[in-house]
Amino acid sequence: MNESFPGPKTLAALKRGIPLFKNGLRFDAELAQAGRRGFRSIRQIVIDKAAGDFVWDLDGRRYIDFQNGWATNPLGNCHPEILEAVEAANRRFGFHFDHPLRYDLAEMLADIMPGKALPRTNYEVSGTEAAEAAVHLALTHTKRRYIITFSSSYHGMGLATKVLSGLDAGYGTYLEGWGGGVIKAPYPYSEGIPAGMSEAQYTEYCLWYLDNHIPSSVAAVDNIAGILIEPGLAEGGNWIPSTRFLKGIREICDRNDWLMISDEVLTGLGRTGRTWGIDHYEVIPDILIYGKNLSGGIAPLCGISARDDIMGDNKGFASGSTFAGMPAGCAAAIATLQIFERDQVIAHARRLGQVAIDIMRGWESFSIVRQVRGNGLLLGVSFRKPGDADTAEEDWWTARAVRSKMLENGVWAISDHEDTIRMYPALNMEESTLREGLQVMQQAIADVEEQGHAEGDTPAYPSGVSGF
């Protein structure tokens, strides 16, 4: 372990956050408690600059970027063509609500929607806003009261999306009274399978729960607006659903006259090696939510697209905000989509995803690795505590240890309070860089397995961002 990490400039910047950001008042007490357990503070960095596949911290150390702005920089950091497009839009339009770029982008989006079946567009600023807009659209169109979401799902950090999300991270604390219209259903990911059930059996149970248990015991069929589903349980650990599950949801929605809403904020626009995550399942949703990759990580822009009959005449639906569809965001999105087509970015991402999973499958020979998985460049590795570890240890402490070792050796990935390390390489990353990053990760796994770890339930420095 490198006790000099992070460097002095980075450490000084992190410590500045203690009197400035959330949870600073309890940082010292939690750090002392972790120290008594034998753990040290988790390694973090503060970015000084970013370019392409790399970021640099305040001490000048370079890192391969598998964090990717939480999957927001599909063409790498600070892509010059997108920056130029944004600057040109700012100089030409300033900031106004209506401008030709809104129309240009809407036509481009309609053309790449699944089956070209979702021609109507509504712009938003964030994925949170887009998810809330999609649910409101479904409720107002159907004139119904309930929406079904899933355990371990994540749809944003707004008040409504905290209620919609199933991810067990304390986000729904004190919101019980606000969630009366949200019904949570089990999601058939591999680590959630009850003992004695196969993956196929649990998938069928989850579909039965949607089609039978909820209508018979929770809410009437004709008062349920639809099902909100991620075609890849992203924040919950990059879990990949089966074709049977997604097609089963489509069939249930059709049979019960429910809307199928696909949240593609993280899985969409090339992340899985297809334009949309839902494309892997030959399923067309009724409403699709998108963001992150859309505007190249340069200017904020998200949105929803829907069938003409859902959004084309809906007096009850209202959404959007001041900066939704602003010129800079639309310009960034147009440039991003043009580069995608010109450089065949999605095909490249699909090939890189196969390279990655071929390498990662070998890691399942490590005793601390529970499972590896990937769909395109939506990559995840789940960990377990060492076999002889104290029973008080948590699996996610092992994931944190591997992630910290990676960071010390120049690779930046994501591991929050979960047993998974999540990786989101840029879709146009050089293959040599991807391989180098995965080699560093493999060595980190080997080191933690052999040497144990000094990571655990230590607090993050209050840095103003979630996750570290």
How many CB atoms within 10 Å of residue 409? 18
pLDDT given for residue 452 in this prediction: 87
Cβ atoms of 346 and 273 within 8 Å: the answer is yes
- How far is residue 83's CA from residue 104's CA, in Å, rounded to a whole number? 18
CA torsion, points 176, 234, 333, 260, in degrees to nearest 10?
-60
pLDDT given for residue 3 in this prediction: 66
Predicted model pTM = 0.95
- How far is residue 349's CA from residue 378's CA, in Å, rounded to a whole number? 10
Q: For the stretch 378-403, what's the b/e string if a residue is b when 16 or more beta carbons lie within 10 angstroms of its beta carbon?
A: bbbbbbbbeeebeeebebbbbbbbbb
Residues of the chain where predicted confidence (pLDDT) is lower than 50: none
103, two tokens: 């129309």
The full set of domains in the chain, from first to last, is 8-77+345-451 (3.90.1150.10), 96-325 (3.40.640.10)
93, two tokens: 């339009």
pLDDT given for residue 176 in this prediction: 79
- How far is residue 179's CA from residue 172's CA, in Å, rounded to a whole number? 9
HSE (side-chain half, CA atoms, 13 Å) at 384: 15
- How far is residue 459's CA from residue 468's CA, in Å, rounded to a whole number? 10
- How far is residue 302's CA from residue 333's CA, in Å, rounded to a whole number? 9
Cβ atoms of 332 and 295 within 8 Å: the answer is yes
Q: Classify residue 133 by burial, with Cβ atoms within 10 Å: 0-12, 13-18, 19+.
A: buried
Cα of first residue to Cα of last residue in the chain, in angstroms, is 18
pLDDT given for residue 237 in this prediction: 81
One-letter amino acid for residue 363 of the chain: W
pLDDT given for residue 398 in this prediction: 93
pLDDT given for residue 107 in this prediction: 98
Residue 412 has phi, psi (to 5 degrees) of -105, 115
- Cα 217 from chain centroid (whole Å): 32
Cβ atoms of 312 and 131 within 8 Å: the answer is no
